[in-house]
Chain A
Amino acid sequence: MNAIEVTKLSKTYPGGVEAVKGIDFEVASGEVFGLLGPNGAGKSTTVGMLTTTIEPTSGSARLAGFDVAREPIATRRVSSVVFQEPVVDRSLSGRRNLEIHARLWGVEPREAAARIDELAGTFGLAELIERPAGSYSGGQRRRLEISRALVSHPRVLFLDEPTVGLDPRIRAELLEVIASLRNRTELTVLLTTHYLEEAERLCDRVAIIHAGRIVALDTPGALLAGLGRQLVEIRVDGSVNSVLATLRDRGVAGDDAFAVGSRVTVPLHDHSSGEAIAALHELGLAGAISAREPTLDDVYLRLTGDSLAVAA
């Protein structure tokens, strides 16, 4: 059985803002699934609908077989959320924060105590667990929130932009923690992010979401493979469209070449970068040419005409 099933799910907020426009996807049990897109793409609204804090306008979604609209309490029983913003009781100890979650999710006190100690050890919180959560650093608080989410043995864990606002060192540390969740085979993770490397590194499959629609859904490898082994980028002074047309006519670029602003990007499927650059020189396009491996930003750029890094 799939852990998450989303069918034609839509959300239109009062005022007519269409945040999510009929998305479909399924997430298998044990899978780490990424929703990748810039701010305002509809990621958090999707998580909100799956966690029953946002009411869908239409469509349906099931978590571990439970309909989020018809069986909200059963849905919440099998899931946990780590929010984008810090969400802890700052004046209470880390342990108390975890205990409250355990009690509300119906974990017996004795089991909860053992589980809290185990998670505190696993996530490096053992020394901090009796301190007020308000005294934790950003990374420590995030680890506390992930531990809290796991206390109740959720079948589905939502991580909503878990590394936003953290400095690079803490972010790298937290990515290690999240990567370790993959070892919990019974756990399905839905991760939202606008960081490409997070999606590439952590996710089995990625849905790229743009303006409320899913524009691509596959494994990171397959999404990247669609752009070939390498890309050539050309910065053009004149008309990018005429350059693009010329490159296609001469067989240097295929249909998947694309132009954004003054830059033309040519995925290389059959040519090496050396061959492509030589062909560009022959065409008199010897200006700013560079070759590199494709990233998910290129996938996003080709599908939406916008850079994920800029849009985020």
Chain B
Amino acid sequence: MSTAEIAIQVPQARLRALGPLATLARRRFQLTARTPRELFVPLLTPIMFALVIAPALKTALHTDASYESFVAIGTVGLLIPLNTMFSGLSVIVDRISGAQPELLTAPIPRGLLVVGNLLVALAITALQVGVLIAAAVARGIHFHATAAGILWFAAAGVLFTAGMYGLAEILASRVPRQEEYIARVPAIAILPWFLAGALFPITALPGFLTWVAKFLPLTHALALMRYGLRGDATGLHAIWGMSDRAAMAGLSLAVVGGFALLLTAASIRVFSRAAVQ
């Protein structure tokens, strides 16, 4: 086989995978759309924090108005883990009582099932984050977003969602039953949120917990989102201690990107291995 033939075949193989990938993503989207809890339940707690608890804290703690936008973005860090963990739960449902066994006998690389689910998780998360931000704006919370800032925010959101979805897929592949999966959700989705500077800067934490927070991908994602939507680099500075805002943002984006890449690859591998006994 010539080099030219090889060069042509690789993109053709990728193109051939697009049809099945679109089918799998469409199927997952249709199943999700018929399960309203997957759309609305993850939204409830973040919206409550953004619209009720943040204004209440602002009043009680006598902070300024910018605290509301600080917490509103912080709640995105709760919304994404909750939503991706719910998506992972639907993988277990699919395995136990859905058509996943049939999909595993389809003539496609099994990793496409994970990628198809990830695409839908990203779309649903984007929709929910959009609703959360719109609700915050409607409540009178102000952001200071530029076009570049929105890109930072979106990049951080997409990459963090991809990483968290990878984590959810891995957990779903490892855990046989829904009850056991749900029991692990608080430790994965909620505990890091309290440490990652969602409600207060990580510098307010005890010293060793500040260091722990610096290693959490969520800390980096939240700092990037605030940099993007509020123009506020204090979160990035608390992590990196540098003066160059763009450099700190780039470094945090690399951390979140690495998290996404690593967990997406691991989830595909774990799922594909778990599919074969």
Q: Which of B23, B34, B105, B276 has the most CB of A within 10 A?
A: B105
> From A45, which residue of chain B is reached at the shortest CB distance?
B277
Q: Return the CB mask of A94-107 against B: 1 if under 8 Å, else 0.
A: 00110011011110
Cβ-based interface call for B3 (8 A): no
Q: Return the CB mask of B51-76 against A: 1 if under 8 Å, else 0.
A: 00000000000000000000000000
> From B34, which residue of chain A is reached at the shortest CB distance?
A91
Give chain A's interface residues, CB within 8 Å of chain B: 13, 48, 51-55, 73-74, 76-77, 79-81, 83, 85, 87-92, 96-97, 100-101, 103-106, 148
Q: Which of A13, A52, A55, A97 has the most CB of B within 10 A?
A: A52
**A92 to B106, Cβ gap below 8 A?**
no
**B102 to A83, Cβ gap below 8 A?**
yes
Bound: A117/B101 CA distance, A: 24
**A74 to B107, Cβ gap below 8 A?**
yes
**A89 to B31, Cβ gap below 8 A?**
yes
Q: Known contacts A81-B105, A90-B98: does B23 contact A103 (CB below 8 Å)?
A: yes
Cβ-based interface call for B206 (8 A): no
Q: Which residues of A contact B130 (CB under 8 A)?
A: none
**A88 to B277, Cβ gap below 8 A?**
no
Q: Which residues of B contact A52 (CB under 8 A)?
A: 105, 276
The one of B31, B35, B106 that contacts A105, using a Cβ cutoff of 8 Å: B106
Bound: A51/B101 CA distance, A: 11
In the complex, which range does the number of interface residues on chain B fall in?
20 to 34
Bound: A134/B35 CA distance, A: 14
Q: Known contacts A53-B277, A81-B102, A103-B20: does B97 contact A90 (CB below 8 Å)?
A: yes
Q: Which residues of B contact A81 (CB under 8 A)?
A: 101-102, 105
Q: Return the CB mask of B81-112 against A: 1 if under 8 Å, else 0.
A: 00000000000000001111111111111000
**A97 to B105, Cβ gap below 8 A?**
no
Q: Known contacts A76-B106, A76-B107: does B35 contact A87 (CB below 8 Å)?
A: no
Cβ-based interface call for B241 (8 A): no
Q: Known contacts A83-B102, A96-B30: does B107 contact A53 (CB below 8 Å)?
A: no
